[in-house]
């Protein structure tokens, strides 16, 4: 047996132990209270999660066919977090700040699929006018404050958005200024300074913000439990006197319930919440990642907790919808995504003469 094989086997054993610790946390979540839903809400959430999953699958297809370039980080497996949090907020009223894994956040915020796909193809019709690409989606209209290539970059931006909401209300006496901001980031981000600095300021000023940790166990190739002295991120909120909560990030109703509680606290002036969602990405870190570090046993464990399949079963077993209705939605979404690809392929590239446009503020006449 070669040395490399020994290392690989030991890594697999380590991964299984870490998977076990993460799984044990799921069993012991104490405060989890799923949100109740009606038929209309159930259909909307299912459609949103399915749109995210099918969109990402199409991105992978386009990337491997050589139609899409650059870094592409997909969201498969984490849909319950995006749909659960953003779906509980008010579109075009509340604000959202993403990461480099931002496609599905944009879709949940209401950015049309054809605009997101166009951006991934670098077209003028993209939501960032073809200048941003996969990691820098932005839409002022849909209150998406951007995706960011470096970890933690978006958290201070989200903090500024939350500060704006409170400033307008208290300084300008704008009682309608009750917008809440959600800042999404991964477990690896929780080991850097911006995370702690922004939590401190948010709690000090009781800002209306939700810090949403998408803990998918892996920061690129570093297992979460090997990278931090306190693996339970939600507990770090207590150091700032902030409300912290952990939730099963593979259960959309659990995420939605936690998000609703956090939103209520934020709108009522009680300040921020640190929400840790225990989730898992089904693909490698990016489409360039061969995904050789994670064990097959770990992947199989989490595949059985697929948030879309679980929610689909829930909806049908409770009698809110029928299997045929969900199948119809899936077909409609497949067509929407195919239309978005054709729209993007046929769209114009940015004009080379406008290379510096959007870099500086334009002077008004």
Domains by residue range for the chain, with CATH: 34-341 (3.40.50.970)
- For residue 3, the model assigns a pLDDT of 44
pLDDT score of 27 more than 90: no
Q: Is 341 exposed, middle or buried (0-12, 13-18, 19+ CB in 10 A)?
A: buried
Report how far residue 264's alpha carbon sits from residue 269's, in angstroms, rounded to the nearest whole number: 9
**Partners of 248 in the beta sheet?**
278
Query: What mean pLDDT is predicted for residues 76-101?
Result: 97
pLDDT tens-place string over residues 139-181: 999 999 999 999 999 999 999 999 999 999 999 999 999 999 9
Give the CA distances from residue 265 to residues 101, 235, 246, 274, 292, in Å, rounded to whole numbers and listed in that order: 27, 18, 16, 12, 42
Report how far residue 157's alpha carbon sits from residue 162's, in angstroms, rounded to the nearest whole number: 9
Could you tell me which of 268, 153, 152 has the C-alpha nearest to residue 208? 268
What pTM does this model have?
0.92
- For residue 17, the model assigns a pLDDT of 55
- For residue 63, the model assigns a pLDDT of 95
pLDDT score of 97 more than 80: yes
DSSP state of 322: -
3-class state of residue 247 by DSSP: strand
């Amino acid at each position: 047996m070669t040395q490399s094989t020994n290392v690989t086997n030991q890594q697999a054993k380590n991964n299984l132990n870490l998977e076990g610790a993460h799984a044990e946390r799921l069993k012991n979540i104490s405060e989890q209270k799923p949100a109740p839903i009606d038929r209309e809400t159930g259909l909307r959430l299912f459609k949103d999660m399915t749109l995210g999953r099918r969109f990402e699958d199409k991105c992978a297809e386009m990337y491997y066919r050589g139609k899409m370039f650059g870094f592409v980080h997909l969201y498969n497996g984490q849909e319950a977090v995006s749909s659960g949090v953003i779906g509980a907020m008010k579109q075009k009223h509340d604000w959202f700040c993403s990461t480099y894994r931002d496609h599905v956040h944009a879709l949940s915020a209401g950015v049309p699929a054809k605009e997101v796909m166009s951006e991934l193809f670098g077209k003028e019709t993209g939501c960032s006018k073809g200048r941003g690409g996969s990691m820098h989606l932005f839409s002022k209209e849909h209150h998406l404050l951007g995706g960011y290539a470096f970890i933690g970059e978006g958290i201070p931006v989200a903090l500024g958005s939350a500060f704006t909401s409170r400033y307008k209300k208290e300084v300008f006496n704008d009682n309608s200024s009750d917008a809440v901001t959600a800042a999404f980031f991964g477990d690896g981000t929780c080991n850097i300074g911006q995370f702690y600095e922004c939590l401190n300021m948010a709690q000090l000023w009781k800002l209306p913000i939700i810090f949403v940790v998408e803990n998918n166990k892996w920061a690129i190739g570093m297992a979460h439990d090997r990278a931090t002295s306190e693996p339970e991120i939600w507990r770090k909120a207590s150091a700032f006197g902030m409300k912290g909560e952990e939730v099963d990030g593979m259960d959309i109703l659990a995420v939605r319930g936690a998000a609703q509680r956090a939103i209520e606290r934020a709108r009522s002036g009680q300040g921020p919440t640190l929400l840790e969602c225990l989730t898992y990405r089904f693909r490698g870190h990016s489409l360039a990642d061969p995904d050789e570090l994670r064990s097959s046993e770990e992947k199989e464990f989490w595949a059985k907790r697929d948030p879309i399949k679980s929610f689909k079963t829930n909806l049908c077993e409770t009698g809110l919808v029928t299997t045929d209705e969900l199948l119809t939605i899936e077909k409609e979404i497949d067509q929407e995504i195919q239309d978005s690809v054709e729209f993007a392929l046929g769209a114009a590239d940015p004009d080379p003469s406008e290379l510096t446009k959007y870099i500086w503020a334009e002077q008004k006449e």
